[in-house]
Structure 1
Amino acid sequence: MTSINIIPDNSNLIQAIKAVLQLDPKAQITYDDDLGGLSLADAKHLQEISDADDRGEVKYYSFDEMRERSKEHLRKLGASL
């Protein structure tokens, strides 16, 4: 018996499944909709961040820059560092 795990990502999925079943009618096809433990809202937010990165809208900081920015922000909030 053939076992195939398909994670769908396009509109031709149904046609592909039908083609596989014509080749091997006893094939067992499973569907996995697991987003790796992410909620749907988190997956959507992650996609938005990824899209913003693709458009060049995300600014990245080095570890040292981030540490200094964090210290500066905490000082503005009244923390003594």
Structure 2
Amino acid sequence: MQPRKLSGHPIIRRLLSSLPREIVDKASETVQSDRYYKTMDAWKQLVFMLYGVVDILLPVANQHFLEVLPFTVLF
């Protein structure tokens, strides 16, 4: 079976849906992290960083799943 190249978007959507944006906005306001940025707010930066992590980890997880799958099917 050929490994599929999957997009990280559904996983990112699930991660972001578990973290309310209001929490990020409140934390950003508390530490004033957005005061010098006009286009890149804390929420966008969080999304980009999560995408980078998912993009790196997804192929590793897929490879691990493909290696473990034959053994789990047998038992």
- TM > 0.5 fold call: no
Which of structures 1 and 2 has the bigger CA Rg?
1
Higher share of residues assigned helix: 2
Scaled by the length of structure 2, the TM-score of the pair is 0.32
Tell me which of the two structures has the higher relative contact order, counting C-alpha pairs closer than 8 angstroms and 6 or more residues apart: 2
Scaled by the length of structure 1, the TM-score of the pair is 0.30
Higher share of residues assigned strand: 1
